[in-house]
Structure 1
Amino acid sequence: MDSVIKDFRDLEVWKRYKVLRSEMWALCKSFPLEEKYRLSDQIIRASRSVTACIAEGYGRFHHQENIQFCRQSRGSLYELIDHVDVAFDSEYIDEKKKSELIDMIVLCIRILNGYIRHLKKQKELNKKSLPTK
């Protein structure tokens, strides 16, 4: 985190998720119409949840709350992996596209895990700096 973070949109993790969210939206546009309220809807909701949880967690006062929202975001990322598998199994995407999307999701998970580690360190630093009674 080299630059100044003014809000959640400055976080690298959120920026990566935004790209992923756009990629998922583009993917859904290629699905058959009968998937509009099934797989497409689930993918769009999960991908939006990924960025929304980061934003909501950032807005929380305590580090632990932020960490919990990050964990929810991570759950949505794993959900997206399953949805990509379903898209592949349904023959909506080929093996190459499946691999590209899963690689992108896994990278987002790694970046998120790093952000969670950072938040945990900040939480511990804050505990150490509190005056003792």
Structure 2
Amino acid sequence: RATLGSFERFIGILIEHYAGDFPFWLAPIQATVLNISEKQNDYVLEVTQKLQAAGFEVSNDLRNEKIGYKIREQIAQRIPYLLVVGDKEMADGTVNVRKRGQKKDLGTFSIDALIDLFNQENQPGTTAA
């Protein structure tokens, strides 16, 4: 019982310290892949699977909602990276990357380049979101 209480206090301290904006390496969901329309569903699932196979905690949002709405929801969830897939990205085999706390997108990344970026950020002690 005492051990669980200590763990709960520790988690509470982490949440308070980071105000819910956990660094990438500590975030329970590190990235979410978003589609613009249903045409990209298969590619979104493929990207999600590749990133999960590389060891990252990645979810996806395949709902038939406007992309702006989905992005706002994910920002409210404080997900470190949002990966947006449209027709162009699907054709090129890339994703458009948006990092939490930055106004501009980071640009378009291949999946391998994104895995390299995530590996750099996945080091404990890295404070960047």
> Could you state the TM-score of these two structures normalised by the residue count of structure 1?
0.30
> Could you state the TM-score of these two structures normalised by the residue count of structure 2?
0.31
Q: Which has the larger radius of gyration?
A: 1
- Name the structure where strand makes up a greater proportion of residues: 2
